[in-house]
Structure 1
Amino acid sequence: MELQKMNGHSKDDGFDAVDNMAENEEFLPHKSGVKKESRFTDFEGKTSFGMSVFNLSNAIMGSGILGLAFAMSNTGIVLFIILLISIAILSAYSIHLLLKCAGVVGIRAYEQLGNRAFGPPGKVLAACIITVHNIGAMSSYLFIVKSELPLVIQAFLSKHENTGEWFLNGNYLIIIVSVCIILPLALMRQLGYLGYTSGFSLTCMVFFLISVIYKKFNIPCPLDYEHDNMTFVDDVHNGTDDFCEAKLFTVNSQTAYTIPILAFAFVCHPEVLPIYTELKDATKKRMQTVANISVLAMFVMYLLTALFGYLTFYGGVESELLHTYSRVDALDVLVLLVRLAVLVAVTLTVPVVLFPIRRALLQILFPDKPFRWVVHIGIAFCLIFLVNLLVIFVPSIRDIFGLIGATSAPSLIFILPGIFYVRIVPTEQEPLLSRPKIQAACFAGLGFIFMVMSLSFIIIDWVTGESRSGGGH
């Protein structure tokens, strides 16, 4: 993130009366009294409110949207909606904790919150968690490009099989995409400039959502036998209606995975403070509104995608929704266009995810240095090069992603915001046993429970080996 000016600016940089007043507005109850005004010293933002919403929404939205219909099939409609609402509210509350801490510290940097809470070790810990998590996210997006783009090109060329041409080689394609699209966008000096590409990325996902809704009314259940390449057709219990019946509540061996899946679907916290930094006329209330709108928009998209995807295939939905449509008709033009739109969306999300990694590295390696293009470009190039190597040479990285996600995502959403709030907010403002701090501590404890649950699921998968075959990502 372009917060390189963070420690080098003078006290009067980027201040105004509105900012000072609004940064003192509180979202949680606290004892009344005179408070010390927060003064931000890092950056004067120029990104509009709308662009900030696009960037944060794009940061929230990930490839996990393709697995939500499968999650609904393992919980039932009502239980899924309850869980989705709960996670969305918790995510918005987590962002509130970060913004409140930023107001106390006087600087909008995740790493600086760690430094204020636990000193240099806290700063390094926050930077490492952000770096590891976002490298995993970037790699997962490029894995989608590696696996899906050759199939899309193959379909457009009406080829029935991959005949080995270089333009059907996923490794070559991710290098081309990284050099021609991702790297130029990652070289932008400010994240706000990516608001346009983020808006286009979101438009692609809206097209995906509209297509999912449309397909609900065009795919029969059980499927016609002309579509009998769907594996679950044979499992329809003699054509009974039970298979094509929506379940409101259901519990099975996969149900326990739903909470981590939904929690990870709302991870955007490394991007929150950088977006806050570049927001024009930035105040805590204004940024909280950006976050609330973004979370609400993604909640609606997630819910509709999961609901209509599930109501299309019911018990036959796979863990990767697009793959399920492809098995109905691999040459369906609409499905092909949707796959292309998803590819565009995940590709344009990679630069947004890269910015917080660069910001974290700048905080650790060059904390007091002025902006330098050489460093800015060098970090972006090295990160993209590293991610390309991971995607090309690691044949199956699902377990690594799972391990990263099970530790970093709960840390970023729950644990770090909770403990930062308890440690950073002054006791004279909110005593240790005040309701806001008790809530924050419980919030961090909830994240620890999520982490233990997620790691337990991964270990069970490792132990049971092939006994669980979910497919997909």
Structure 2
Amino acid sequence: MELQKMKNGHSKDDGFDGLERMAERDEFLPGKSDEKKEMHFTDFEGKTSFGMSIFNLSNAIMGSGILGLAYAMSNTGIILFLILLVSIAILSGYSIHLLLKSAGVVGIRAYEQLGNRAFGHPGKVVAACIITVHNIGAMSSYLFIVKSELPLVIQAFLGQTENTGEWFMNGNYLIMICSTTIILPLATMKQLGYLGYTSGFSLSCMVFFLISVIYKKFNIPCPLGETLTNTTSWMDLPQVNGTDTMIDDSCEAKMFTMNSQTAYTVPILAFAFVCHPEVLPIYTELRDATKKRMQTVANVSILAMFVMYLLTALFGYLTFYTEVESELLATYSKVDPLDTLILCVRLAVLVAVTLTVPVVLFPIRRALLQILFPDKPFHWGRHIIIAICLLCIVNVLVIFVPSIRDIFGIIGATSAPSLIFILPGVFYIRIVPEEQEPLFSRPKIQAAVFAGLGVIFMVMSLSFIIIDWSTGESRSGGGH
């Protein structure tokens, strides 16, 4: 989530630090118009077109969360999932409105700096810590995909239908090898550089993934024990009393359903829509930047991702029904481990997520350097040691966490509601002056309710997840 336009946060934000500090020192003047106040924010003349900004923000929204949406639908039913997906998308758009309004008042382009303006240094630390936790969760989800998918790719290349247990098919060894040979060298670069362009490739991979999911829906029978030949169609399957013999309760789409895994749905959806730390850098680079123009960029991006998420979840669920796993790609191995199309999808997704990990690592390191060494110049030792420590932490998490569902659940239940609901609402209340909007005005009451809703989501989701863990009722398909 969270993930793709990080190059803006480094190549541009670093150059704006002086302007941000000036904006933070300036007192708000109630007599000035919104247009005048926003000049602080748009002192830098953006060069990015409206269409490219939509592309960048869509990349920021798109992430590994898309792989868990079919699993979420299987535990809620189609109608309940649709209601929740629409709700999260609308609320995400509203939270971006709060961020843009707050940033326009004080001329700040960074999430952490909004925290500093609202609550001083503690606010900056809290915002930086939440972003750090969320990005560590995102890195973990990417490496978990490497852990579960790379052994299957090697297995397919060797022409084997089962994992024979060699060390080079052990996911734990593979993520350590990838981390040291590919990710660490890229993460120790001083600048992101060309890594920012992997965002386009990543989005292309996910579009390819969606097309493949839709195509496979019409080529995989249910139950999975049935097989279809190249010349067999759904209409050719045996019929008994006008009903397909292959259809049973496990192959019926549920409109509404509730079980112990339903608690993971809202966190998975929240995790999938987090893009908020990247909104302000993208706003800064937008040509002819205004709040209305950037809000339109956000709305179109959220709508595009809503359509992709819905189609992926729907066709993935209608392919496997109750058999869908928490990481959708892994479910296809139940059908044909050597399927060429799925192998191509796996390779594309693996390359995309591997190259995205160092992009996500950069803002974590930058936040840590700002908190721990705010006045220190660049030093290669600190730069490399922080990268190594972060990768070690993420590797340990991925090795010991049994399922990607748990990563989606915990991060989606803690940092995601904070970034989408709680912090934007609280920042808005604190930053927008009472001369402009009194404390009990409708916009601030709405912002307070919005932040409160995030707290409720967080508490309920965490409670249900902890109950699920304690009762040990996790579905066997959830882990790998």
- State the TM-score bracket (shorter-chain normalisation): 0.7 to 0.9
1:410 aligned to 2:417? yes
Give the aligned partner of residue 293 of structure 1.
300
Distance 1:422 1:190, change over 3 A: farther
CA contact (8 A) 2:65 2:408 kept: no
Give the TM-score normalised by structure 2.
Answer: 0.81
Distance 1:291 1:193, change over 3 A: farther
Q: Which amino acid aligns with 2:320?
A: F
> Paired residue for 1:454, among 449, 461, 465?
461
Task: Describe the superposition over 1:67-98 as per-residue Cα deviations: whole angstroms up to 9, x where unpaired.
Answer: 21222223332322222111111111111211
> Paired residue for 1:272, among 256, 272, 279?
279
Q: 3-state SS of the aligned residue for 1:387?
A: helix
* Aligned pairs for 1:186-201 within 5 A: 186=187, 193-201=194-202
Q: 3-state SS of the aligned residue for 1:220?
A: coil
Q: Which amino acid aligns with 2:108?
A: I
In terms of mean alpha carbon deviation, does 346-355 or 205-214 score higher? 346-355
Q: After TM superposition, give the deviation of residue 191 of structure 1 in Å.
A: 6.3
| Residues in 1 aligned to 2:142 and 2:265: alpha-carbon distance in whole angstroms | 21
Give the aligned partner of residue 8 of structure 1.
18
Give the aligned partner of residue 255 of structure 1.
262
| Residues in 1 aligned to 2:324 and 2:71: alpha-carbon distance in whole angstroms | 6
* Aligned pairs for 1:316-465 within 5 A: 316-367=323-374, 379-392=386-399, 394=400, 396=402, 402-465=409-472
Q: After TM superposition, give the deviation of residue 37 of structure 1 in Å.
A: 1.3
Task: Describe the superposition over 1:258-317 as per-residue Cα deviations: whole angstroms up to 9, x where unpaired.
Answer: 222212211122232344345555443443333223212211110111111122223333
The percentage of aligned residue pairs carrying the same residue is 81
Give the aligned partner of residue 37 of structure 2.
37
Distance 1:254 1:66, change over 3 A: same
| Residues in 1 aligned to 2:194 and 2:371: alpha-carbon distance in whole angstroms | 25
Give the aligned partner of residue 78 of structure 1.
79
Give the TM-score normalised by structure 1.
Answer: 0.83
Give the aligned partner of residue 62 of structure 1.
63
CA contact (8 A) 1:113 1:420 kept: yes
Give the aligned partner of residue 238 of structure 2.
none
Q: After TM superposition, give the deviation of residue 387 of structure 1 in Å.
A: 2.6
Q: 3-state SS of the aligned residue for 2:478?
A: coil
The count of corresponding residues between Structure 1 and Structure 2 is 448
Q: After TM superposition, give the deviation of residue 438 of structure 1 in Å.
A: 1.2
Give the aligned partner of residue 218 of structure 1.
219
| Residues in 2 aligned to 1:370 and 1:45: alpha-carbon distance in whole angstroms | 28
| Residues in 2 aligned to 1:364 and 1:443: alpha-carbon distance in whole angstroms | 28
* Aligned pairs for 1:159-198 within 5 A: 159-162=160-163, 167-179=168-180, 181-183=182-184, 185-186=186-187, 193-198=194-199
Q: Which amino acid aligns with 2:335?
A: V
Q: Which amino acid aligns with 2:123?
A: G
CA contact (8 A) 1:55 1:192 kept: no
CA contact (8 A) 1:58 1:349 kept: no
CA contact (8 A) 1:59 1:271 kept: yes
Q: After TM superposition, give the deviation of residue 65 of structure 1 in Å.
A: 1.5
In terms of mean alpha carbon deviation, does 59-68 or 156-165 score higher? 156-165
Q: After TM superposition, give the deviation of residue 211 of structure 1 in Å.
A: 0.6
Structure 1 stretches of 5 or more lacking a match?
Answer: 14-30, 228-235
Distance 1:225 1:213, change over 3 A: closer
TM-align CA RMSD: 3.4
Q: 3-state SS of the aligned residue for 2:17?
A: coil
Q: After TM superposition, give the deviation of residue 366 of structure 1 in Å.
A: 4.2
| Residues in 2 aligned to 1:188 and 1:81: alpha-carbon distance in whole angstroms | 42
Q: 3-state SS of the aligned residue for 1:254?
A: helix
Q: After TM superposition, give the deviation of residue 119 of structure 1 in Å.
A: 1.3
| Residues in 2 aligned to 1:172 and 1:311: alpha-carbon distance in whole angstroms | 34
Q: After TM superposition, give the deviation of residue 435 of structure 1 in Å.
A: 1.6
| Residues in 1 aligned to 2:71 and 2:271: alpha-carbon distance in whole angstroms | 15
| Residues in 2 aligned to 1:222 and 1:278: alpha-carbon distance in whole angstroms | 50
Q: Which amino acid aligns with 2:448?
A: A
Task: Describe the superposition over 1:326-366 as per-residue Cα deviations: whole angstroms up to 9, x where unpaired.
Answer: 10111211122222222223223323322331332243234
| Residues in 2 aligned to 1:371 and 1:277: alpha-carbon distance in whole angstroms | 25
Q: Which amino acid aligns with 1:442?
A: V
In terms of mean alpha carbon deviation, does 162-171 or 105-114 score higher? 162-171
